[in-house]
Amino acid sequence: MEPELAALTQEVITLTKAVGQFIWEESLRFTPDKIEYKGLNDLVSYVDKTAEQQLVVGLSKLVPEAGFITEEKTNQTTAETYHWIVDPLDGTTNFIHGIPTFSVSIALQRNSDLVLGVVYEINRDECFYAWENGGAWLNGKAIQVSKAPKLANTLLATGFPYYDFKKKEPYLRVFQEVMEKCHGLRRIGSAAVDLAYVACGRFDGYFEYNLQTWDVAAGVVLVKEAGGEVLDFSGGSKFLQEREVLATNGRITKELLQIIDSHFNDKSI
């Protein structure tokens, strides 16, 4: 049965906030001895795993026929049409170090289309959400991307590679050029929050590579429904497959793509 997306979004919000409360309470008593490593600089904890289990249980009740794509692999069930894409704690490194920017990110994918997204930034109690053709919202108020017309008028966000450094040099050259041409370049540490901030106009654009589907799926829905653009570094739509995202207000896309292409897609590197 086709779920009614507006009503479903509200149910996802309720679940997300409940799990967010669990994460917040755990943040107050978390200690470094509870850190686990999935790989180089790839941290996880019992909080991520427990939160994901709670989300999977709740989301399974909302759309029983849906499969799952989850960061911590607590459920990897495949389905014919719908899949929930779940990042239970985006910004785990921030969480572990006591830095107050981390979020829960949930998206619903119908076939290849992302049709629902919820990003709950726990520390500020800000819930960003959107659904297909329903606009984008923050705590009940409609949001839109910024109207900054040129790169010179913008504040941008990015992320740093933390385990795959093969493209580090061209990426640093992108940083250098961009920071000379805008108001500033920020690195918050949660891709989901970066995208949510583009959707509400706090950032005018965001770019990063080496991303996983669960890092960005919900945020992509937010940006698109808020009137922005989401592309890969070549200007195409394969941002999930290529694991690279450029999200903008739509007005500065051309400028950013030119900079990225001149460095990141340099075939001589």
Q: In what order do the strands lie in the sheet with 103-110?
A: 67-70, 82-90, 103-110, 113-121, 126-131, 136-138, 141-143
The pLDDT score that the predictor gives to residue 171 is: 86
Indicate the angle between helix axes 213-225 and 191-199, nearest 10 degrees: 0
Ramachandran angles phi, psi of 221, nearest 5°: -60, -45
Q: Which of 113, 112, 84, 88 is nearest to 8 (CA)?
A: 84
Pairing assessment for the beta strands 155-158 and 184-186 based on DSSP bridges? parallel
The pLDDT score that the predictor gives to residue 36 is: 74
Low-confidence residues of the chain: pLDDT under 50: 1, 41, 269
The pLDDT score that the predictor gives to residue 41 is: 44
**DSSP labels, 70-103:** ETT-S-----SSEEEEEEEEETHHHHHHT-S--E
